[in-house]
Amino acid sequence: MTGRDTIAAIATPPGVGGIGLIRVSGPASEGIARRLFRPIHLPASFLSHHLYHGEIVTPETGAILDDVLVAFMRGPRTYTGEDTFEINCHGGPLILRTVLAEVFRAGARPAERGEFTKRAFLNGRLDLSQAEAVLDLVAAKTPEGLSAAVDRLKGRLSGRIEMIRDGIIGLLAGIEAAIDFAEDDGVVDTPGADLAEIQTLIDDLRSLAATYRRGRITRDGIGVVIAGRPNVGKSSLLNRLLGEKRAIVTPTPGTTRDFIEEAITIEGIPVRLTDTAGIRLPENAIEKEGIDLVWERIATADALLVLLDGSMGLTPEDQEFLSEMQSKPMLPVINKSDLPERLDEKRLRSLLPDTTPPAVRISAKYGDGIDRLKAAIRDMVLATPAEETAGIMIADLRHKVALEKAAECLVRAREGLHEGLSPELTSLEIRGALDSLGEITGRTTPEEVLDRIFANFCVGK
C-alpha cells in the first residue's frame, strides 16, 4: 500500500537549533524536490539516497529561502516505504515554517500525528509492535529503557511472537487435519494427543505477559514518596539521593510545607521522588494543607519510603502512620545511623506486613547506606534480584492483554481436547489465540486501535 497523497512536516523539535529537518513522503516527493530545490551543481537527475547542497527557492520569484542539504530517496527503501524528500534547513522556527509553507504550496499536505510511522506500518516496513517501539525510543528516559525500545524496534518481540504463532499454527494444522480426513485416509493420531505441546505454548505466552510490569517500569518509571513524621530527615534524604541541595533542611520541625518532586534514575529505573511535609497533627491551616497534600501523594504513589529516626524509639505517630500504610508497597528506612541506635527493629517488624522488605539503615547526613537503599528500592519495585536480567520485555498493556487472551484460548482448547470436545470447537479456540497474537503485530488490529496508537506520536514522526 502506498499513500495516494504526499505529506510533509517538520521532524525536529520546536525551538532554535543548528539544523531543522522537513520530511516529505509520498508520490509527489520528487516533483516537489525539483520544484523547490536549486542545486549548486545541477544534476541530470536525483540519485536516490544521495545528499545534495543547494538552495530552497520560491518557484514563482526565484527568491532564496535557505541554503540547505537535501536527499531524495526512492521507495521502498525508505522509512515509510514511499518516495521521500528530506530538507536539512538551518534550525530557525521562521525558516522552517517558511520552507514548509512552500512545500505545501508545491503539492503536499500537513502530516497527521504519527502518519509517517503509520505509513511505514501499512507499507510493511514495520509491524505494529515495532511502530510502537519508535515512540518508546523517542521517549526513553534511561539507557535500560532505550535498550529495551531498540530491541523491540529491531524485531525481537515480533520474532518471539512469530515463534509462538508458528507453534499454534502447527497445532491448528494437526487438529484441522483430523477434521478433514478420516482414519482410513491415513490420519491415525487423535487431535491433541500431545497436550504437553499446548501447555508449552501456554507457558510461553504467560512468561512473556509476566514481563509487562518490569517493562512498563523500565519505560515509564515509578513514583516514590518519602514520608514520615517531622524532622526524621526526609529532605536530607532527598538531597542525598539527588546529589545536590534541592530541599531546605533545618532542625525546626515543619520546615517542608509543600511537596518537592524531582526525577532521578535509580538502578536503571526512572524514579519520581517526592519529599513531603512531616505527618503530624497540624498546628495551623497552612500546615494542614501541606499534610493533606501528603496523603494525596501517598494515594497515587507506586511505593513509599517510610523514614524513621533510628536514634529514638518508635513514637505513637510512627506506629499510627505504619498502621495506615499496610496496603501500600513500602520500604522502611531507618535514618541517623551515625547516632546511637535506639529503635527496636523487632518491634518495627511486628508492625509491618510479612511481605515488607527488611529495613535499610542509612545516614542521610553522611551518605552511609545510600547504595544499599537504592538497590533495595529497585528490588522492591521489580520484585526480582538485582543481578537478574530480563530478555525480551513488553511495555504496553495492550500487548499484555493480547497475550493473556491468547493463553486463555489455548487453555480452553487444551481442556476441550482432554475432555473429548469436537475438533471443530477446539479449532475455534486456537484461531482465537492466533487472532489475539495478531493484535500485537498488526495482523488483526482494528482500525480504531491503530488510530489511537498513532495519535500518540508527534506530527513529524
Tell me, what's the pLDDT at 42? 75
- Per-residue pLDDT at 194 exceeds 80: no
Q: By residue range, what is the domain housing residue 158?
A: 133-211+394-454
Residues 280 and 299 in one domain: yes
Q: Where are the beta strands (DSSP E) in 95-183?
A: 109-110
Summarised one tens digit per residue, pLDDT across range 21-37 is 999 999 999 999 999 99
Residue 288, pLDDT score: 58
The verdict on residue 128 lying in a domain is: no
pLDDT at residue 203 is higher than 90: yes
How large a percentage of the chain has pLDDT more than 90? 44
Can you give the pLDDT at residue 290?
61
Q: Torsion-angle region of residue 309: left (phi > 0), alpha (psi -120 to 50) or beta?
A: beta
Q: How many helices, marked H, and strands, marked E, lie in the chain?
A: 16, 13
The 10s digit of each residue's pLDDT in 229-238 is 887 888 888 8
Do 339 and 450 fall within a single domain?
Answer: no
The tens digit of pLDDT for each residue in 361-393 reads: 999 889 999 999 999 988 888 765 444 445 788
Q: CATH code at 26?
A: 3.30.1360.120
DSSP string, 269-333: EEEEEEE-PPPS--SSHHHHHHHHHHHHHHHH-SEEEEEEETTSPPPHHHHHHHHHTTTS-EEEE
Looking at the fold, whether 282 and 371 belong to one and the same domain comes out as: yes
Place 445 in a pLDDT band, splitting at 50, 70 and 90: confident
Q: With a cut of 70, say whether residue 289 has pLDDT above it.
A: no
The answer on 58 and 101 residing in a single domain is: yes
What amino acid occupies position 173? A
Confidence of residue 451 (pLDDT cuts 50, 70, 90): confident
Whether 376 and 271 share a structural domain: yes
**Mean of per-residue pLDDT scores for the chain:** 84
Residue 31: inside a domain, yes or no? yes
Domain count of the fold of the chain: 3
Q: The C-alpha cell of 380 is what?
A: 522492591
